[in-house]
Amino acid sequence: MDTNGNRLLVVDDQPDILDFVGQVGESVGYEVRLANDAKQFREAVRSFRPSLMILDLQMPQTDGIELIRELGAVGTRATILISSGMDQRVLQSAEQLGVAHGLNMAGFLQKPIMLADLEAILGQHLKAPRLPTEEELRRAVDRAQLLVHYQPKCALSDGRWAVVGVEGLIRWEHPDLGLVYPDSFIPLAEKTGLIAALTDFVLQEGIGQLGTWRAQGTVLDLSVNLSPHLVRELDFPDRLSELMSKHALDNSRLTLELTETAALEDPARTRDILTRLRVKSFGLSLDDFGTGFSSLTQLYRMPFNELKVDKSLGMELHQSGEARTIVRSLVDLAHNLGLKVCTEGVETAAALQFLEVAGSDFVQGYYLGRPVPATSIPPLAARVPMLAAVG
């Protein structure tokens, strides 16, 4: 069954409730995962990526409040419903706590749970079965519905991890669908050619923002994702240089992130443009390395100066020996080729410690900071850097 990204995670220590809610969830159209303790819950949040969670406030070893705090720390985007037999006041304060942690709280489900209530509430949270349309995306560009969030990129300095740059990530404030993330509209933008306008927007916005931060005393680097389809215009490096000098910024402050598909379309032209970008001192990063889309050959055929290890590897570091072996080898490989390495998807202290020993030059991930609006970046950059694990 195509559940259209509707994934329901139910957390409860009572097996009969789990079964009941799970069955109703499936009948309404969700893919369902059940968890009856905190360990299963954490694992499911990580690997199953629920869109909706029903969370029991009272659990044996952990309580729902602790879990809410944890969800806040990992920055889940899921909608959260609290279920409990406790009184309204307790439920409300749990709800407020979730909101304070930046979570998408959607109310309560009073126990005992009634079938009709459950069906109604699950139906209500079923994500819109449609993706945005081309027409809507066109309007989004014209009506200024696009925005950029920035995620900190950190490097070791004097034995501490400090924010040295940001990656600009596009978002769409859709009038009906709410905040839409790029995975839902970048493919459409690429298919329709709107990607050029989107990328222009992110570059203009991000480079302008870099100038604003610098004027406020925060000097940062910027990384921007560049769609493969855009590495075709021969005058792109010159236009980008002009934009940088308009804001009196050094070209070396900007890195363009590409996935490997870029090079496949027209290798000669791509190499021409990429080489001229490097000659002009822009950075070039091979993004999402370690996924099916990236390949080793690009590393030496194209003039990249950074390798970005995909977040799927970063996210596994704390629990997978294989992931650790692969990342350690990638760091060595990149260094031997004279490239810097940035590892994405750093979600735990354990992953950060590992990367420090492995020698990843840069790290990025929810543990260090989620993508946030521009105004939240200077305080993050000024924050006392994270103590490194060694040295």
Token pair 């509430």 in the structure block, residue? 121
360 Cβ contact list (under 8 Å, min separation 6): 309, 327, 331, 341, 342, 343
Task: Indicate the residue whose CB is closest to Mg ion.
Answer: 257
Q: With CB cut-offs between 5 and 8 Å by kind, which of ligand C2E, Mg ion, none does residue 182 bind? A: ligand C2E
The nearer residue to ligand C2E, 111 or 232, going by C-beta atoms, is: 232
Closer Cβ to ligand C2E, 65 or 389, answer by number: 389
- For residue 106, the 8-state DSSP code is E
Of 375, 11, 332, which is closest to residue 209 (Cα–Cα)? 375
How far CA 334 is from CA of 6, 131, 289, 358, in Å, comes to 38, 38, 11, 12
Query: 15-28 and 115-124 are packed helices; what angle lies between their axes, rounded to 10 degrees?
Result: 50
Cα 116 to Cα 113: distance, rounded to the nearest angstrom: 9
CB of 13 to ligand C2E, least distance (A): 27
At closest approach, how far in Å is the CB of 26 from ligand C2E?
25
Using the rule CB under 5 A, is 298 a contact of Mg ion? no
**Chain positions contacting ligand C2E, by CB under 6 A:** 151, 169-170, 181-183, 186, 199, 202, 225, 227, 257, 287-288, 311, 315, 344-347, 364-366, 371
C-alpha pair distances (Å), 49 with each of 42, 53, 108, 286: 10, 10, 21, 26
CA nearest to 84, candidates 51, 121, 53, 59: 59
Tokens of 28: 């309404």
CB 255, CB 285: distance < 8 Å: yes
**Is residue 306 close enough to count as binding Mg ion by CB under 5 A?**
no
Cis geometry, peptide bond prior to residue 378 (ω within 30 degrees of 0): no
For residue 282, the minimal CB distance to Mg ion (Å) is 15
CB of 20 to Mg ion, least distance (A): 40
Residue 111 or 171: the one with the smaller Cβ distance to ligand C2E is 171
Site for Mg ion in 223-282 (CB under 5 A): 225, 257
List, in order, residues 6 or more apart from 130 with CB less than 8 Å away: none
The torsion angles phi and psi of 385, rounded to 5 degrees, stand at: -60, 155
CB of 344 to ligand C2E, least distance (A): 6
The set of residues, in sequence order, having a beta carbon less than 8 Å from that of 252 and lying 6+ positions away, is: 221, 281, 282, 283
Radius of gyration of the chain (CA): 23
Which listed range, 24-32, 53-61, 193-201, 218-226, lies at the site for Mg ion (CB under 5 A)? 218-226
202 binds, among ligand C2E, Mg ion, none (CB under 5 to 8 A by kind): ligand C2E
In contact, 389 and 352? CB cutoff 8 Å? yes
Smallest gap from Cβ 49 to Mg ion, in A, equals 16
Q: Choose between 110 and 291: whose C-beta lies nearer to Mg ion.
A: 291
CB of 86 to ligand C2E, least distance (A): 31
C-beta of 20 vs 293, nearer to Mg ion: 293
Q: CB under 5 A: which stretch of 85-93, 147-155, 287-295, 313-321 binds Mg ion?
A: 287-295
- Least distance in Å: CB of 78 to ligand C2E? 12
The option from ligand C2E, Mg ion, none interacting with 330 (CB < 5 to 8 A, set by class) reads none
Residue 287 binds to Mg ion (criterion: CB under 5 A): yes
Nearer to ligand C2E, 22 or 165 (CB): 165
- Residue 221 binds which entry of ligand C2E, Mg ion, none, CB below 5-8 Å type-dependent: none
Quote the DSSP letter at residue 58.
B
CB 156 within 8 A of CB 368: no
Smallest distance, ligand C2E to C-beta of residue 77, A? 9
Q: Please, which of residues 140-179 interact with Mg ion by CB under 5 A?
A: none
d(CA 31, CA 6): 6
Q: Name the residue with the smallest CB distance to ligand C2E.
A: 365
Residue 169 contact partner, candidates Mg ion, ligand C2E, none, CB within 5 to 8 A by sort of partner: ligand C2E
In the list ligand C2E, Mg ion, none, the entry touching 98 (Cβ below 5 to 8 angstroms by class) is none
Nearer to ligand C2E, 108 or 366 (CB): 366
